[in-house]
């Protein structure tokens, strides 16, 4: 069972970079916005400090609790509810204080002050406290309270300078919006750069994957490209593994050949000796020696197929093999005259050795020609991304469902009168299973038997 592919490495790297960049840029946006707000408020408070200094210079004590303030030259403090205000208080114990003077912009209202303001001002080394209160028109005012001692007045006073801070808030929001847009564009550009960087950086890895696929499909025998320093050891190890597999395959083939020679020579001697003798014992020896030869051929053929498939690196065109088999069987069964129709795309490639495909297709087609009456049909087609189906139909008598599995048993012959060893279908099934496939028998639409083989394939 093939494991499902894991998440894309490119996607993982891009997502990690995108998340990291988003977090960093979001934090940078927030930090810059806060810094801008603090700078704007400091600039705002400086304006209130200038207004306080002007009041301190323009205020003069009058008779009693009265206080005279000369014109400050600030038109906004003269326009009613303009958003810029001032007020002078005389602090009182247990109260908010007495208003000595206020700007015309306040009209008949007064600036409120928090409880304990005088004590807070006394505790401050600079004698200044900032706070926020609602304004005459409901706007948000920022107030700067300063404790002063005016010339000629021994009792301290509290000067309140206030201004509408909504323009500052609007500037801060605008800065946040502009910075966010800029950083979003920056993040998009950086993510795009990361995508390009990852794609270019992993291109050698993609190339290595393509070459490994070529190795598996038989289009190449080794990795030939020059890879970066980090991938070079992997490429060298893969090439070494391929060389080791080829060497192992050759040794296996040599062992198979040696085994075949070692077994067949004594069997040939036994067979020859049995032919020279007469009697029941000689007949039995001759018959059993023949069975042993067929069994040895069968098992050695299966071992060679498994070794070849394990070694990989071989590919065979299906159409050319079917054409060769059809021509050969057409001449062999010329007297019987079955018509062999075959269809296979030219680009359909069997991922295995030519001899194995000849063995499987030849056995199945020969059976179809032997038992078919007048017609044999062969269709090879691609299935999925890496498999092919080879289907052989005939119009012969076919097999009953109970007989189909028995027909594929090793050495089984359902008709003893017909020539053959009974190993054909067994060989086909064993070879197909060696390639990760199988042989299935069923009823043919032509009325006879259908044999279908599942085999691996690759691209042309």
Concatenating the DSSP letter of every residue in 35-101 gives: HHHHHHHHHHHHHHHHHHHHHHHHEEE-STT-EEE---S-GGGTSTT-SEEEEEEE--TTSS-EEEE
61-164 has CATH 1.10.3470 classification: no
Q: What is the DSSP secondary structure assignment for residue 391, as one 8-state letter?
A: E
Task: Give dist(CA 305, CA 318) in Å, integer.
Answer: 17
Cα 253 to chain centroid, rounded = 41
2 vs 56: CA distance, rounded Å: 87
Angstrom distances, CA of residue 158 to CA of 111, 147, 451: 12, 5, 107
Residue corresponding to tokens 């691209």:
459
Give the model's pLDDT for residue 418: 42
- Other residues' Cβ atoms within 10 Å of the Cβ of residue 35: 11
So what's the pLDDT on residue 257? Answer: 66
DSSP calls for 94-162? TSS-EEEEE-GGGTT------TTHHHHHHHSTT-EEEEEEE-TTS-EEEEEEEEE--TT--S-EEEEEE
* Strands ordered across the beta sheet of 128-134: 98-102, 84-90, 157-164, 140-148, 128-134
Hey, where are the domains in the chain?
Answer: 61-164, 314-458
Residues listed for the chain: 460
DSSP 353: -
Cα 71 to Cα 75: distance, rounded to the nearest angstrom: 10
- Of 398, 325, 336, give the one whose Cα is nearest residue 360: 325
Q: Spell out the residues 6+ positions from residue 30 whose beta carbon is closer than 8 angstroms to its own.
A: none
Using DSSP bridges, classify how beta strands 339-343 and 375-383 pair: parallel, antiparallel or unpaired.
parallel
What are the pLDDT digits (tens) for 153-176? 778 888 999 999 999 999 999 999
Q: For the beta carbon of residue 401, count every other beta carbon within 10 angstroms.
A: 9
CA-wise closest residue to 422 among 409, 432, 433 = 409
CATH topology of domain 314-458: Heat Shock Protein 90 (3.30.565)
Task: Say what the pLDDT of residue 414 is.
Answer: 42
Q: Please give the angle made by the CA atoms of 388, 407 and 432, to the nearest 5 degrees.
A: 25
Which regions of the chain are under pLDDT 50?
Answer: 1-2, 311, 411-422
Give the gyration radius of the chain's Cα atoms. Answer: 49
The reported pLDDT for the residue numbered 380 is 93
Contact between residue 339 and residue 378 where contact means Cβ atoms under 8 Å apart: no
Residue 435 has a pLDDT of 84
Q: What are phi and psi of 319, to 5 degrees?
A: -60, -45
Contact 322/344 with Cβ under 8 angstroms? yes
Measured between alpha carbons, how far is residue 389 from residues 154, 253, 381 in Å? 110, 28, 6
What phi, psi does 157 have (nearest 5°)? -125, 165
How far apart, in Å, are the Cα atoms of 20 and each of 12, 16, 27, 185, 197?
A: 12, 6, 11, 15, 16
Interacting residues of 76 by C-beta distance below 8 A, sequence separation 6+: 82, 83, 84, 105
| CA atoms within 13 Å, Cβ hemisphere of 33 | 21
Q: Residue 115: its pLDDT value, please?
A: 83
CA–CA separation, 80 vs 83, rounded Å? 8
């Amino acid at each position: 069972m093939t494991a499902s592919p894991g998440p894309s490495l490119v996607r993982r790297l891009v997502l990690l970079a995108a998340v990291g960049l988003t977090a960093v840029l979001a934090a940078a946006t927030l930090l810059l916005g806060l810094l801008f707000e603090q700078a704007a408020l400091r600039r705002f408070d400086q304006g209130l400090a200038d207004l306080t200094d002007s009041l301190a210079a323009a205020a003069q004590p009058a008779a009693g609790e009265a206080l005279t303030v000369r014109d400050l030259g600030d038109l906004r403090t003269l326009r009613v509810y303009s958003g810029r205000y001032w007020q002078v208080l005389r602090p009182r114990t247990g109260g908010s204080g007495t208003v000595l003077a206020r700007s015309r912009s306040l009209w008949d209202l007064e600036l409120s002050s928090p409880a304990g303001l005088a004590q807070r001002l006394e505790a401050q080394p600079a004698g200044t406290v900032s706070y926020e209160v609602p304004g005459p028109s409901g706007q948000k005012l920022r107030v700067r309270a300063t404790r002063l001692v005016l010339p000629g007045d021994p009792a301290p006073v509290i000067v309140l300078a206030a201004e509408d801070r909504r323009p500052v808030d609007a500037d801060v929001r605008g800065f946040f919006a502009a910075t966010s847009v800029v950083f979003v564009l920056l993040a998009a550009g950086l993510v795009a750069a990361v995508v390009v960087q990852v794609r270019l950086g992993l291109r050698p890895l993609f190339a290595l994957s393509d070459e490994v696929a070529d190795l598996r499909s038989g289009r190449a025998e080794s990795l030939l490209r020059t890879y970066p320093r980090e991938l070079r050891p992997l490429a060298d190890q893969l090439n070494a593994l391929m060389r080791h597999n080829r060497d192992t395959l050759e040794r296996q083939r040599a062992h198979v050949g040696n085994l075949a020679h070692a077994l067949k020579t004594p069997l040939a001697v036994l067979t020859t000796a049995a032919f020279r003798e007469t009697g029941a014992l000689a007949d039995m020896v001759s018959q059993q020696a023949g069975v042993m030869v067929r069994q040895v051929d069968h098992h050695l053929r299966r071992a060679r197929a498994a070794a070849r498939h394990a070694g990989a690196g071989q590919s065979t065109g299906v159409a050319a093999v079917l054409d060769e088999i059809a021509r050969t069987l057409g001449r062999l069964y010329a007297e019987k005259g079955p018509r062999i129709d075959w269809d296979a795309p030219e680009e359909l490639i069997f991922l295995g050795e030519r001899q194995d495909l000849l063995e499987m297709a030849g056995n199945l087609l020969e059976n179809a020609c032997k038992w078919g009456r007048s017609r044999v049909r062969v269709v090879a087609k691609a299935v999925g991304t890496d498999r092919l189906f080879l289907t052989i139909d005939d119009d012969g008598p076919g097999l009953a469902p109970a007989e189909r599995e028995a027909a594929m048993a090793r050495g089984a012959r359902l008709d003893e009168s017909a020539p053959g060893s009974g190993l054909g279908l067994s060989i086909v099934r064993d070879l197909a299973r060696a390639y990760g496939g199988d042989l299935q028998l069923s009823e043919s639409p032509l009325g006879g038997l259908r044999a279908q083989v599942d085999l691996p394939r690759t691209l042309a």
